[in-house]
């Protein structure tokens, strides 16, 4: 369990860092300012939240599904990631933000960073052995 | 002495001309930053961010006062990128074909609570007469009125656009300076 949470924290940190860099590059490239909605603290907090949910989810999922655990878990994680995009498309920003059209391009990739780093760092954390009850 | 006598009518004439110009000039107001055009209904809210035009207003000379306003339709902001694209599209404001929303007053009169401007409001190429009640305090024009989008061919009653409210409340606040 400890390894799963470490994996979650590590991937959250990388996802947060990537999102922070992406936010900076995107804001400069498009001269957009979404600082009223997205700030570094929020980026890291949501990354940690997403990856911790994944960790807890994986822990309980692995206790129930003994075969093809990763296949099923990854599919559900991906599905839920796609589901979170609904919030991006339906979000109404403050009218002070002149270009809400650019918000989608900023936030959609960020929603995929947690699963991206979760999957890419998984080989570093060897917890695929059966979990004892 | 003779020179003084002959120049006297010229001075009077010039004074009259310049005072007439200054009188006309005193009607003009410039739109200051910080103006707001908000629209709201049960289903949608938003703002229009670009306003320009000519304001001639004198509380003591309403017959010569006039509003000639232009709003950039593409400046619509609902706070949602997808809704903005839809609002600017052919189904709604069709900003590619009708880039401006205009209001030209034909008469301004005094009312109990302030003033009212009657004129032609043109949206999406369709012009209708409308009366806009407004106040003028602290060098700020403020008014509120309702528009039925269907009167101007904005959207329809069918499909997705049919779900949008037909009546839109418009709130305007325009600070001005001389």
pLDDT of A106 reads: 95
Classify residue B19 by burial, with Cβ atoms within 10 Å: 0-12, 13-18, 19+.
Answer: exposed
- Total count of residues recorded for chain B: 178
> By mean pLDDT, which of A40-49, A103-112, B14-23, B68-77 is the weakest?
B14-23
Q: What is the 3-state secondary structure (H, E, C) of B40-83?
A: ECCCCEEEECCEEEEEECCCCCHHHCEEEEEEEHHHEECCCHHH
- Average pLDDT over all residues of chain A: 91
Determine the Cα–Cα distance for residues A63 and B178; give it in Å rounded to an integer.
75
Between B4 and A88, where is the model more confident? A88
Interchain CB distance below 8 Å, A93 and B80: yes
> If you average pLDDT over residues B28-33, what whole number do you get?
93
Q: Which residue has 């990854």 as its token pair?
A: A74
List the beta bridge partners of residue B47: B38, B77
Between A101 and B158, where is the model more confident? A101
In the structure, what pLDDT confidence band is assigned to residue A48 with cuts at 50, 70 and 90? very high
Interchain CB distance below 8 Å, A101 and B46: no
Taking only the tens place, the pLDDT of each residue in B39-49 is: 999 988 999 99
pLDDT of B8 reads: 60
Q: What H or E segment, with its residue span, contains residue A52?
A: helix A40-64
Task: Tell me if residue B10 falls in helix, strand or coil.
Answer: helix
pLDDT of B162 reads: 75
Instruction: List the structure tokens of A75.
Output: 């599919």
Between A48 and B27, where is the model more confident? A48
Residue A71 burial (CB count, 10 A)? 10
Examine the pLDDT at B19 and tell me if it is beyond 70: no
Examine the pLDDT at B23 and tell me if it is beyond 60: no
Taking only the tens place, the pLDDT of each residue in B142-165 is: 999 999 999 999 988 777 677 788
> If you average pLDDT over residues B92-103, what whole number do you get?
95
Contact criterion met (CB below 8 Å) for B144 and B130: no
The chain B residue lying nearest A91, using CA atoms, is B80
Evaluate whether ipTM surpasses 0.85.
no
Examine the pLDDT at A129 and tell me if it is beyond 90: no
Inter-chain Cβ pairs, chain A and chain B, closer than 8 A: 32
Alpha helices in B58-167 (DSSP H): 81-88
Contact criterion met (CB below 8 Å) for B141 and B173: yes
Interchain CB distance below 8 Å, B82 and A94: no
Give the list of residues 6+ apart from residue B87 with CB closer than 8 angstroms, or none: B46, B76, B78, B93
> If you average pLDDT over residues B126-143, what whole number do you get?
95
Q: C-alpha angle A81/A94/B34, rounded to 5°?
A: 160
> If you average pLDDT over residues B132-150, what whole number do you get?
95
Examine the pLDDT at B63 and tell me if it is beyond 60: yes
| Residue B168, φ and ψ in degrees, nearest 5 | -120, 130
pLDDT of B14 reads: 58
In the structure, what pLDDT confidence band is assigned to residue B75 with cuts at 50, 70 and 90? very high
pLDDT of B165 reads: 87
| Residue A95, φ and ψ in degrees, nearest 5 | -70, -15
pLDDT of B159 reads: 73
Instruction: List the structure tokens of B38.
Output: 């908000």
Residues of chain A found within 8 Å of residue B173, distances taken between Cβ atoms: none
Instruction: List the structure tokens of B127.
Output: 């012009």
Q: What percent of chain A has pLDDT over 90?
A: 77
pTM above 0.95, yes or no: no
Interchain CB distance below 8 Å, B46 and A95: yes
> By mean pLDDT, which of B24-33, B73-82, B110-119 is the weakest?
B24-33
Give the list of residues 6+ apart from residue B3 with CB closer than 8 angstroms, or none: none
């Amino acid at each position: 369990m400890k390894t799963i949470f470490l994996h979650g924290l590590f991937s959250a940190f990388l996802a947060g860092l990537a999102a922070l860099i992406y936010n900076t590059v995107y804001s400069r490239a498009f001269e957009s300012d979404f600082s009223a909605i997205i700030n570094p603290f929020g980026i890291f907090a949501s990354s940690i939240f997403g990856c911790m949910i994944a960790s807890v989810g994986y822990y309980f999922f692995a206790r129930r599904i003994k075969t093809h655990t990763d296949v099923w878990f990854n599919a559900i994680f991906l599905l839920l990631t796609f589901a979170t995009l609904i919030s991006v498309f339906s979000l109404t920003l403050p009218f002070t933000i002149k270009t809400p059209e650019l918000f989608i391009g900023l936030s959609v990739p960020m929603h995929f960073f947690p699963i991206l780093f979760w999957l890419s760092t998984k080989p570093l954390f060897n917890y695929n052995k059966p979990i004892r009850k | 002495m003779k020179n003084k006598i002959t120049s006297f009518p010229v001075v009077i004439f010039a004074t009259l001309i310049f005072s007439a110009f200054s009188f006309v000039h005193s009607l003009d107001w410039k739109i200051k930053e910080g103006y707001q055009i908000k629209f709201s209904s049960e289903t949608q809210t938003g703002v229009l961010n670009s306003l320009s035009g000519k304001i001639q207003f004198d509380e003591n000379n309403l017959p010569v006062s006039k509003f000639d306003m232009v709003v950039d339709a593409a400046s619509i902001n609902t706070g949602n990128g997808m809704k903005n694209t839809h609002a600017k599209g052919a189904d709604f404001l069709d900003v590619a074909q009708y880039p401006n929303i205009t209001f030209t007053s034909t008469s301004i009169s005094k009312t109990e609570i302030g003033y009212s401007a009657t004129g032609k409001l043109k949206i999406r190429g369709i012009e209708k007469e409308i009366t806009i009640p407004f106040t003028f305090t602290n060098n700020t024009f403020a008014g509120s009125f309702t528009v039925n989008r269907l009167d101007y061919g904005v959207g329809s009653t069918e499909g997705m656009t049919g779900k949008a409210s037909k009546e839109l409340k418009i709130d305007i606040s325009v600070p001005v300076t001389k």
